[in-house]
Chains A and B, each alone.
Chain A
Amino acid sequence: MHISEGVLSAPVLIGGGALSAGCVAYGLKKMEYKKIPQVAVLSSAFFVGSLIHIPAGPVSVHLVLNGINGLILGWAAFPSILVALTLQAVLFQFGGITTLGVNTFNMAFPAVLSYYMFNRLARSPNMNIAMAAGFGAGFFSVASGGALIALSLVATGEEFTTAAKLVLAAHLPVMIIEGLFTAACVAFLRKVRPEILEAHV
Chain B
Amino acid sequence: MNRIKQSALSFIIAVAVVVISASSAHAHKVSVFAHAEDGKVHAECYFVDGTRCTGSKVTVEDSKGAVVSEGVTDSQGMYVFDIPKADSLKIVLHAGMGHLNDYTLGVDEVKAAYKGNNSSPSKEKTKTAVKRTADVKERRVKAQQAEKAAAPRSACADTGAIKAAVDEAVEARLQPMYKMLSDMRDEASRPKLTDAIGGIGYIMGIMGIIMYFKSRKA
Contact = CB atoms under 8 A, between A and B. Distances in A.
B203 A48 contact: no
Nearest to A37: B7
Contact of A47 (B11, B54, B203, B207): B203
A170 B195 contact: no
Interface of B is mostly: helix
Interface residues of A, number: 52
Contacts of A143: none
B27 A193 contact: no
Interface stretch (B35-43, B94-102, B146-154, B170-178): B94-102
A193 B9 contact: yes
Chain B interface category by residue count = 35 or more
A2 B28 contact: yes
B199 A91 contact: yes
B97 A59 contact: yes
Given A41-B10, A44-B14, A47-B199, A152 B207 contact: no
Interface of A is mostly: helix
B97 A166 contact: yes
A30 interface: no
B210 interface: yes
Contacts of B28: 1-2, 50, 60-62, 94
Shortest Cβ-Cβ A-B pairs, 4 listed: A53-B26, A3-B98, A40-B207, A41-B10
30 contacts: A1-B28, A2-B28, A2-B29, A4-B30, A4-B101, A5-B100, A7-B98, A33-B218, A36-B211, A40-B207, A41-B11, A44-B203, A47-B200, A47-B203, A48-B14, A49-B21, A51-B21, A51-B24, A53-B26, A60-B26, A60-B28, A62-B26, A62-B28, A83-B203, A84-B203, A91-B191, A92-B191, A93-B189, A149-B98, A153-B98
Interface of A: 1-8, 28, 31, 33-34, 36-41, 43-45, 47-53, 55, 58-62, 83-84, 87-88, 91-94, 149, 152-153, 163, 166-167, 170, 192-193, 196
Given A41-B10, A55-B49, A83-B203, 9 more contacts: A4-B98, A4-B101, A7-B98, A41-B14, A49-B17, A52-B26, A59-B95, A94-B27, A193-B6
Interface of B: 3, 5-7, 9-11, 13-14, 17-18, 20-21, 24-30, 47-49, 51, 54-55, 95-101, 189, 191, 195-196, 198-200, 202-204, 206-207, 210-211, 214-215, 218
